[in-house]
Amino acid sequence: MDRQTPGGPPLTYLDHAASAPMRDEVVEAMAPFASGVFGHPSGQHRQARAARQALEDARDTIAELLGAAPREVVFTSGGTEADNLAVLGVLGAAVRRRSGDATAVVSSSVEHAAVLEACRVASARLGVVHERVGVDSQGLFDLARLEQALEDLGGDVALVTVMLANNEVGTVQPLGDVVALTRSLAPQAVVHTDAVQAAAWLDVAQAAPGVDLVSVSAHKLGGPKGAGALVVGEGTEIEPLFVGGGQERERRSGTHDVAGAVGLATALAAAAREREAESARVGALRDRLADGLLHAVPSVIEAAARELVLPGHCHLCFSGVDREELVVLLDEAGVCVSAGAACASGALEPSHVLAAMGVPAASARGSIRFSLGHTTAAEDVERVLAVVPEAVARLRG
C-alpha cells in the first residue's frame, strides 16, 4: 500500500499482522449502522428488529465460515477478550465444578499475551496449575512434550490452548495432532485455539479440526478494530466475564456492536473468498522480499522456514542492529514494520517467542517482522528492498 503521508515520503505499509487496513467493502457494509440503523438489537420496535436482523445475519456468516453453528458464535470486543473469555471462562467453570480438586491448563510457550496473561491470572486467583509446552527452533509445538504433560497431569487438565498460527513469526501449528493427543490422554479437557492471526490465511475449520473454542478478531482481516468473536462449541461450559443483560446466551452481557459484527462478517467472508489467490500472490511477494533482503544485507537470518509459516509473514533478524532504531529509520523513510510485541505504553518487550525458539539474544535484538496483506503490491516490496539495506548499513556503521 503506497500512499502519500502529509509532509513526508510515500507510505509503504508492511504491518498487516498488527492491523490490516480496512477493506472498502467492510466500510460500505458498516455504514448503515453508523447512523441509519441505530436501534438496540435487544428491543422490539422496527429499528431494534433491523439491528437484530443484521446481527444475526452476521452471526450466520461467521458460523458458516468457521465451521460452527450460529448459536456457538459469541461476539466480543476483539481477540483479547475472546482469548480471555476462553481461558478464564473455561477454567473458572472447571474450578467451580471440581469443588477443590486440582485444575490445570496446558499452553504453548509462544502464545499471545492475551492467553499467557489469562493463564497467569487463573494461576494467581484460582490456583490453577499452568504447564507451558515448548517449541522447536522453527516455532513448532513440541507434541512429545504435550504428550508427557497430559500423562503427568492426567485428569487435572481442564484446558489445552495452542494458537493456530503465531503472531510474531507466523508458524502454523499442528492443531489436528494437538486435538488427537488431548482427546486420547485427557478426554475431559477443552481445546482452545487463538486463530486471530491465522483466519485471514487459513480455513480455520480445516486447519483446526475438532477444537472446542476458536478466537478471531476483525482488524487482522481488514475489518474494524474492537470487534471479534469466540466460537464456543456446544456443551462447552464457560463462566462469563461480563454479566448484566444476559446477551449472547448469557455468555457475554452488553449491548451489541452491530456495525462491528457486520464488519467482522464482511471481512471474514472477503478473506475466505480471496484466500487461495491472495495466498499465492502475497506468498510470492513475501518470497521476493525475503530473498532480496537475505541477498542484499549481510548477517541476516530468517526466524522460521517459509514453508511452515503464513504467506504474509517475513520475520528476519539483523545482527548488529537494534530493532527499535531500525524501525525508527524505516518509519522516517515511510516504511511501516513491526519490531516485536508492544505493551500498552508502546515500549518494546523482549520477544518470548524468539527466546522459546532458541534464537540468540544478539540476533533477537535485531528482529523485524515484515507482514504483507491484501493491500500489499509489488512496488511496496521493491521500495522496502531499496530502503532496508541502506538503513541497516547506516546503523551498523
Domain count, the chain: 2
- Mapped onto helix, strand or coil, the DSSP state of residue 9 is coil
DSSP output for 298-344: SSEEESS-GGGB-TTEEEEEETT--HHHHHHHHHHTTEE-B-S-B-T
> Of these residues, 314, 317, 336, 343, which one is catalytic?
343
Q: Which of 341, 344, 298, 292 is nearest to 314 (CA)?
A: 292
How far, in Å, CA of 233 to CA of 230, rounded?
9
Average pLDDT over residues 41-61: 93
**Domain with 281 in it:** 2-23+275-396
pLDDT of residue 148: 98
Mark which of 253, 269, 285 sits at the end of a domain: 269
C-alpha cell at 272: 475466505
Q: 303: domain CATH number?
A: 3.90.1150.10
Using a 10 angstrom Cβ sphere, with 0-12 exposed, 13-18 middle and 19 or more buried, the burial of residue 206 is exposed
Known catalytic residue: 317? no
For residue 345, is pLDDT > 90?
Answer: no
| Whether residues 184 and 313 fall in one domain | no
| Whether residues 144 and 265 fall in one domain | yes
For residue 153, is pLDDT > 80?
Answer: yes
Instruction: Of 191-205, 343-357, 374-388, give the lowest mean pLDDT range.
Output: 343-357
pLDDT of residue 101: 85
For residue 344, is pLDDT > 90?
Answer: no
pLDDT of residue 380: 98
Compute the chain's Rg from CA coordinates. 21
pLDDT of residue 5: 54
CB 364 within 8 A of CB 41: no
| Whether residues 39 and 164 fall in one domain | yes
